[in-house]
Homo-oligomer: A and B are copies of this chain.
Amino acid sequence: MHKPENLKNAGLKSTLPRLKVLQLFETSKERHLSAEDVYKLLVSSGEVVSLATVYRVLTQFQQAGLLMQHHFESGKSVFELNSGEHHDHIVCLQCGHVEEFFDAAIEVRQEKAAVEHDFAIRDHALYIYADCTKKNCSRGSR
């Protein structure tokens, strides 16, 4: 789905590090990755990329609309492929597992709240922090 063309379309020169990062997001089983995650995954799969480059590329991809950036409570921000469909997140406080959801009613009420308070809404973040029920949960990370 995402190919070098995507980089060109985004006005980004097609370089090795960029292709590797993009490919990682497309193939990783974990959809939400932090800069550190990306760096470690690349290194552990034998790729040589600098952490600085990972940060730069992630930021560029986010600005180009290829990735979405989120700020969970953990302190570090995480990225995910931009599916084009807005959604919010439920984050497990124990294992860091993230699940996505969308609720039209919530979206509507948010817009309403912004309007009522005389704000021009630009973006919003809804994070639900909870305990998930994964059998392998509680390994504590992220």
Contacts and interface: CB of A to CB of B under 8 A. Distances in A.
Interface string A91-127: 0110000010101011001101110111111111111
Q: How many copies does the complex hold?
A: 2
B125 A113 contact: no
Interface of A: 71, 73, 88, 90, 92-93, 99, 101, 103, 105-106, 109-110, 112-114, 116-133
Contacts of A133: 118-120
Contacts of A116: 101
B131 A113 contact: no
A129 to B, nearest CB: 4
A105 B126 CA distance: 14
Nearest to A131: B120
B114 A109 contact: no
A119 B105 contact: no
Contacts of A129: 121-125
28 contacts: A71-B71, A90-B114, A90-B117, A90-B119, A92-B119, A93-B122, A99-B117, A99-B119, A101-B117, A103-B109, A103-B110, A103-B112, A103-B113, A105-B109, A106-B106, A106-B109, A106-B110, A113-B128, A114-B128, A118-B132, A118-B133, A119-B131, A120-B131, A122-B130, A122-B131, A123-B130, A125-B125, A125-B126
